[in-house]
Structure 1
Amino acid sequence: MADHPATPLLDTVRTPDDLRTLKPSQLRQLSDELREEVISAVGETGGHLGSGLGVVELTTAIHYVFNTPHDRLVWDVGHQCYPHKILTGRRDRIRTLRQGGGLSGFTKRSESEYDPFGAAHSSTSISASLGFAIANKLSGRPEKAIAVIGDGAMSAGMAYEAMNNAEQAGNRLIVILNDNDMSIAPPVGGLSAYLARVVSSSEYLGLRNFAKRVTRKLSPRMHKAAGKAEEYTRGMVTGGTLFEELGFYYVGPVDGHNLEHLIPVLENVRDAEQGPILVHVVTKKGKGYAPAENAADKYHGVKKFDVITGAQAKGPPGPPSYTNVFAKALIAEAERDERICAITAAMPGGTGLDKFEKGFPDRTFDVGIAEQHAVTFAAGLAAQGMRPFCAIYSTFLQRAYDQVVHDVAIQNLPVRFAIDRAGLVGADGATHAGSFDVTYLATLPNFVVMAAADEAELVHMVHTAAEHDTGPIAVRYPRGEGTGVALPETPERLQIGKGRIVREGKKVAILSLGTRLAEALKAADQLEARGLSTTVADLRFAKPLDEELIRKLLTTHEVAVTVEEAAIGGLGAHVLTMASDAGLIDAGLKLRTMRLPDRFQDQDKPEKQYEEAGLNAQHMVETVLKALRWNASGKVEGARA
């Protein structure tokens, strides 16, 4: 374990109450120590690094100026909240980040009173803070609600929907725009800091209100013109016209690393009678740690790393990741077909489309954190004859479900959905688990839903999707490395709705969808050792089902078990419905379904998550034996010869 940095001042701060006893002159040292502690902790655990380092001073200033937790502080996404966790009573557990039973990598209501709203998806902070602010207003409470939202999160429409609705919150709502990449304003310097301090001061605000009262005595037209003149004049200097149009009083830009500038502005904003207010703070991702400053993308999320060199831990070389296999397969399809194009919602690296973009920049579209737009944009491309692949994590595709239904499925448009991170995701926990896509897609008419059992199957399914022009089609695949099978030189176009038999048997049938196939084969070995001949089928398709194959397996085997790394309502539910409609249930069929548990699973190592979910080979064996009424001494009843 790495040596912990010396942090004598930080050691005196357990909660923001302790922080607020410090002198302003001590906050620079505190922030420096806080930054070193974040670097040290993440070096041991891995996790999000660059974003947290960028808000160290901002975190310190907010907790110093505002009366948290009574003033509600809501972090957008929450991946930048490690400094916040250290300052709010969780430092003693900071080296358990993202581990089983440890601290979440995001904000979490059940973890601390200083986390009033849980988040791990983007662009929710203003809406939630507006809820807190209006609740305070309705109950006569004076406390503030502060939303800290990154500039990237401002690419999502939800942020603007909330801002458009925020005016009635008044001065109880403060939005802090953490601008660390978009450069939406001129570089921060002494002049802009001075202007920010002036326009947030009580003297300026009072003068502004006085001017408004005077102009109200004039004609309505002159009053409106005078107000616009004031706003646009200030907007031309500070860059805030857009936010003024949405009903916010804009302050900034402010250097988010200069506490002497930042704290007076936040104090002015805290005490202002006007509102809502947006404070534009400019920060640098990875601030104070050279490797993270120089490669913000590589140090956004990191594995364990050497604090001195910045070198991230590397495991032994293994099979290619599913993401890389998908990217390579899509590139091959695009080389054959100029109609292939790719869309991502601010995740080019995470989905592999950064590699696709190098070869096909004109056919790659990063729409920002705007999954709803991504899906409807893809629908428009498909309607005009293109072959769009919409590559989105399973958990993020949930944000665009209405567009999937209304704009794609109802119109039967051939949008291809590449669903990465399908299934459990280890350290990222419940907020990022891809548990529900089979359920929410396979219920839709016209949809084809595939699940890759290994990386070779993924190559075939990408090709199948590329060639499928009669409606929407999706392929789901997991996070992490493949199984190590050889990749096909030439992809095969799969027959829609047809599975495959991987292993022949007579008594037990395991019907697998996707990633648990290898465990199903292990279970078959264990069952064979007990004298139970076992068939293993890779169904490939959750929709349409291979009804011919399934009917054959259900009627020729004594017990059948469906297995999927997906929530209730997926493959198992569809097979049960098919069996019921066919009258097979009445015939005494022993059919069992295995799926993810009906609860949100916390972060842990993948192998522990699968054990908790009951989706390993041993669990499959136990399910079969229970259906056959076997006990420890052998079968007691219920099996046919």
Structure 2
Amino acid sequence: MTDTPNTPLLDKVNFPADLRQLKESDLRKFADELRQEVISAVSVTGGHLGAGLGVVELTTAIHYVFNTPQDRLIWDVGHQCYPHKIITGRRDRIRTLRQGGGLSGFTKRSESEYDPFGAAHSSTSISAALGFAVANKMAGKPGKAIAVIGDGAMSAGMAYEAMNNAAAAGNRLVVILNDNDMSIAPPVGGLSGYLARLVSSSEYLGIRKIASKLTAKLSRRVHNATAKAEEYARGMAMGGTLFEELGFYYVGPIDGHNLEQLIPVLENVRDNAEGPVLIHAVTQKGKGYAPAEAADDKYHGVAKFDVISGKQDKGPGGGPPAYQNVFGETLANLADSDPRICAITAAMPSGTGVDKFAAAHPDRSFDVGIAEQHAVTFAAGLAAQGMRPFAAIYSTFLQRAYDQVVHDVAIQNLPVRFAIDRAGLVGADGSTHAGSFDITYLATLPNMVVMSPSDEAELVHMTYTAAEYDDGPIALRYPRGNGTGAALPEIPQKLTIGKGRIVREGKKVAILSLGTRLAEAMKAADILDAKGLSTTVADMRFAKPLDEALIRQLMTSHDVVVTVEEAAIGGLGAHILTLASDLGLTDAGLKIRTLRLPDMFQEHDNPQKQYDEAGLNAPQIVDTVLKALRHNSAGVEEAGVRA
């Protein structure tokens, strides 16, 4: 890490209105200073780096040309918004990014009027911008809506659904395609920049308008032929035919780092556009920072790092493997002897461990892009044809494909295997990426099996169990981060569906744990035993189907039953309460308590603090038990336990 960089021009800019007071000739130096400030800030906090560095000039040009916040600027995904935050009144807090009580790593409406729409999932910007633009148009208010969407986000159908309806916005909608990876047009150069300025100019648009009126007076056949000729001529020169077909006036490609190209094009679009416009800007992730330019994948999201060397501080080496890697390697090993196993991911191969599988079995690995709906139905088709597909998708992203899970998988009882990564809290990424709801939305479905491993060894067993299960859909959910250090089995076991296990026996208190909170449940049992409260701990393994025999046994032999899960209401605890009610066990005075994630969207913070806030660490488990026993345990009452 280094000292704060010297930024005399940036120091003059607290808000975009200040930026607009600079001379256009100063913008190049301003952008360089802004880039250095981003690098310096992220070196301290960690976070998303490459995407933000790639849009420094775009951010500068947009705020310089458009009248934000009256003109609404919407960033797709949001991990490219750090430069935007710096020049919209938040520079003084930029070194609190992703820290508890600090700035969000994404755009957030409650944080600033310059964040008109919260983002963290991709491909939403055009739809949202269309809403802003049409609302202004209907109300007769000034203001355009500018959506900045990355090329990866254009792999999602939602972007095209929005574009298909963009004509309703008239000239109030501007979409900037930030093409930083899969270039879909010829290389950027002086000629393409000149053409972009030309076709967005008032002179060209005026001539085009006159020509349109003239050809309209001719026969329909001549008019259509003339329009097509102009469209395809521009399409051949600049690659915009697809966007023209969707109703956009296409401008580009232009160099997204060349302010001398960006400024006049944006000004022309601002002043002359007669309908929705798409500007195609080609950028480079990690631009201006050599380590990020050389390895944009490794510098997409970073830990704290040394600015000079680029070396990231990832803590001590070694330690338990990450859950996603255990899953990926286990699946790859299973596929060595089972040609039916295949893996699908939605643009997150390394995040889900599918990269491990892909390295071993490239012909059976499919990255479908940011298209979770397609991923699930694609998996359903594979399953219907006799394959054993694993759809490896983050919990929070699988929400986007819930209809497909219900309609295309569960109703048809197809054996799709859902490997649900990032289940539970995710620390610095906050509420938008927390996998809080998957048990609730999956365990309510007929035909669905839902498992959750307590450690990485159990994940190996559950991956094998899912691979061998052909009777319907099955899901295994596991958290972000490293395992507990459990020894990985050389030969995985096939678990009995719907059967839990006792990991510690007691007589008075029963803790029923699902997932990796088991370690905290065991710590709580140690504390309770020391207080004379003999405690049983069960690893339930399955949220559905429930182990009814084990639950009945524990409820009829213990005074207090506490369920613990890293999931929202509606999960294991709710299903056990329903079972207890159905069996009439609640009539016998049994005390049942359910511990789960709170009914709120928890802000980004240190994971340990998040678990404390959620009440899912050992002290809160103990406190729950003691409060339940307070009125019928004199020994506990004398210990001063609060009601």
TM-score interval, smaller chain: over 0.9
Say whether residues 1:141 and 2:141 are aligned partners. Answer: yes
Runs of at least 5 residues in structure 2 that lack an aligned partner in the other structure:
639-643
* Deviation (angstroms), 1:274: 1.0
Distance 1:301 1:632, change over 3 A: farther
Say whether residues 1:332 and 2:353 are aligned partners. Answer: no
Question: 1:383-409, CA deviations, whole angstroms, 9 ceiling, x for partnerless residues?
Answer: 000000000000000000000000000
Question: 1:484-515, CA deviations, whole angstroms, 9 ceiling, x for partnerless residues?
Answer: 01111100000000000000011000000001
SS at match of 1:142: coil
* Deviation (angstroms), 1:229: 1.7
Q: Which residue of 1 aligns with 2:578?
A: 577
Q: Which residue of 2 aligns with 1:480?
A: 481
Say whether residues 1:124 and 2:148 are aligned partners. Answer: no
Counterpart Cα distance in 2 of 1:169 and 1:398: 29
Q: Report if aligned partners of 1:252, 1:280 keep a CA contact under 8 Å in 2.
A: yes
Runs of at least 5 residues in structure 1 that lack an aligned partner in the other structure:
none
Q: Report if aligned partners of 1:65, 1:267 keep a CA contact under 8 Å in 2.
A: yes
Counterpart Cα distance in 1 of 2:361 and 2:464: 18
- TM-score (norm: length of structure 2): 0.98
Counterpart Cα distance in 2 of 1:458 and 1:531: 34
Counterpart Cα distance in 2 of 1:578 and 1:228: 66
Q: Which residue of 2 aligns with 1:196?
A: 196
Question: 1:323-372, CA deviations, whole angstroms, 9 ceiling, x for partnerless residues?
Answer: 11111111111112011000000011111111211111100000000000
Say whether residues 1:406 and 2:414 are aligned partners. Answer: no
Counterpart Cα distance in 2 of 1:412 and 1:580: 28
Q: Which residue of 1 aligns with 2:231?
A: 231
Farther-moved stretch of structure 1 (225-234 vs 189-198): 225-234
Which amino acid letter does the alignment assign opposite residue 344 of structure 2? I
* Deviation (angstroms), 1:631: 10
* Deviation (angstroms), 1:218: 1.8
Counterpart Cα distance in 2 of 1:13 and 1:273: 29
Counterpart Cα distance in 2 of 1:222 and 1:382: 52
* Deviation (angstroms), 1:636: 4.4
Counterpart Cα distance in 2 of 1:201 and 1:60: 21
Counterpart Cα distance in 2 of 1:350 and 1:631: 49
Say whether residues 1:451 and 2:452 are aligned partners. Answer: yes
Q: Which residue of 2 aligns with 1:61?
A: 61
Counterpart Cα distance in 1 of 2:25 and 2:633: 71
Q: Which residue of 1 aligns with 2:563?
A: 562
Which amino acid letter does the alignment assign opposite residue 580 of structure 1? S
Q: Which residue of 2 aligns with 1:366?
A: 367
Say whether residues 1:598 and 2:593 are aligned partners. Answer: no
Question: 1:465-499, CA deviations, whole angstroms, 9 ceiling, x for partnerless residues?
Answer: 00000100000000001000111110000000000
Q: Which residue of 2 aligns with 1:26?
A: 26
Q: Which residue of 2 aligns with 1:91?
A: 91
Question: 1:543-593, CA deviations, whole angstroms, 9 ceiling, x for partnerless residues?
Answer: 000001001111110010010000000011100111111111122221110
* Deviation (angstroms), 1:220: 2.5
Counterpart Cα distance in 2 of 1:370 and 1:304: 31
Q: Which residue of 2 aligns with 1:100?
A: 100
Alignment of 1:249-288 (within 5 A): 249-288=249-288
Distance 1:251 1:632, change over 3 A: farther
SS at match of 2:183: coil
Which amino acid letter does the alignment assign opposite residue 15 of structure 1? F
Q: Which residue of 2 aligns with 1:416?
A: 417
Say whether residues 1:205 and 2:205 are aligned partners. Answer: yes
- TM-score (norm: length of structure 1): 0.98
Question: 1:13-43, CA deviations, whole angstroms, 9 ceiling, x for partnerless residues?
Answer: 0000000000000000000000000000000
Percent sequence identity is 80
Say whether residues 1:441 and 2:436 are aligned partners. Answer: no
Which amino acid letter does the alignment assign opposite residue 183 of structure 1? S
Which amino acid letter does the alignment assign opposite residue 198 of structure 2? V
Q: Report if aligned partners of 1:341, 1:364 keep a CA contact under 8 Å in 2.
A: yes
Which amino acid letter does the alignment assign opposite residue 111 of structure 1? E
Counterpart Cα distance in 1 of 2:526 and 2:284: 55
Q: Which residue of 2 aligns with 1:312?
A: 312
* Deviation (angstroms), 1:221: 3.0
Q: Which residue of 1 aligns with 2:641?
A: none
Q: Which residue of 1 aligns with 2:385?
A: 384
SS at match of 2:115: coil
Counterpart Cα distance in 2 of 1:567 and 1:224: 57
Farther-moved stretch of structure 1 (178-187 vs 225-234): 225-234
Which amino acid letter does the alignment assign opposite residue 47 of structure 2? G
Q: Which residue of 2 aligns with 1:494?
A: 495
Q: Which residue of 2 aligns with 1:243?
A: 243
Q: Which residue of 2 aligns with 1:299?
A: 299
Say whether residues 1:179 and 2:179 are aligned partners. Answer: yes
Counterpart Cα distance in 2 of 1:580 and 1:218: 78
SS at match of 2:610: helix
Alignment of 1:589-628 (within 5 A): 589-628=590-629
Counterpart Cα distance in 2 of 1:96 and 1:277: 36
Farther-moved stretch of structure 1 (266-275 vs 56-65): 266-275
* Deviation (angstroms), 1:211: 1.2
* Deviation (angstroms), 1:222: 2.5
* Deviation (angstroms), 1:55: 0.3
Q: Which residue of 1 aligns with 2:167?
A: 167
SS at match of 1:628: helix
Counterpart Cα distance in 2 of 1:107 and 1:488: 43
Counterpart Cα distance in 2 of 1:346 and 1:4: 35
RMSD, matched Cα: 1.1
Which amino acid letter does the alignment assign opposite residue 327 of structure 1? G
* Deviation (angstroms), 1:632: 11
Counterpart Cα distance in 2 of 1:634 and 1:107: 52
Which amino acid letter does the alignment assign opposite residue 86 of structure 1? I
SS at match of 1:475: strand
Q: Which residue of 1 aligns with 2:587?
A: 586
Say whether residues 1:507 and 2:508 are aligned partners. Answer: yes
Counterpart Cα distance in 2 of 1:210 and 1:416: 59
Which amino acid letter does the alignment assign opposite residue 564 of structure 1? E
Counterpart Cα distance in 1 of 2:283 and 2:131: 27
Counterpart Cα distance in 2 of 1:187 and 1:168: 32
Q: Which residue of 1 aligns with 2:525?
A: 524
* Deviation (angstroms), 1:142: 2.3
* Deviation (angstroms), 1:228: 1.8
Which amino acid letter does the alignment assign opposite residue 87 of structure 1? I
SS at match of 2:333: helix
Which amino acid letter does the alignment assign opposite residue 135 of structure 1? A
Q: Report if aligned partners of 1:346, 1:369 keep a CA contact under 8 Å in 2.
A: yes
Q: Report if aligned partners of 1:4, 1:40 keep a CA contact under 8 Å in 2.
A: yes
* Deviation (angstroms), 1:212: 1.1
Counterpart Cα distance in 2 of 1:516 and 1:314: 24
Counterpart Cα distance in 1 of 2:13 and 2:60: 11
Which amino acid letter does the alignment assign opposite residue 610 of structure 1? Y
Structure 1 stretches (4+) deviating beyond 4 angstroms?
630-633
Q: Report if aligned partners of 1:625, 1:631 keep a CA contact under 8 Å in 2.
A: no
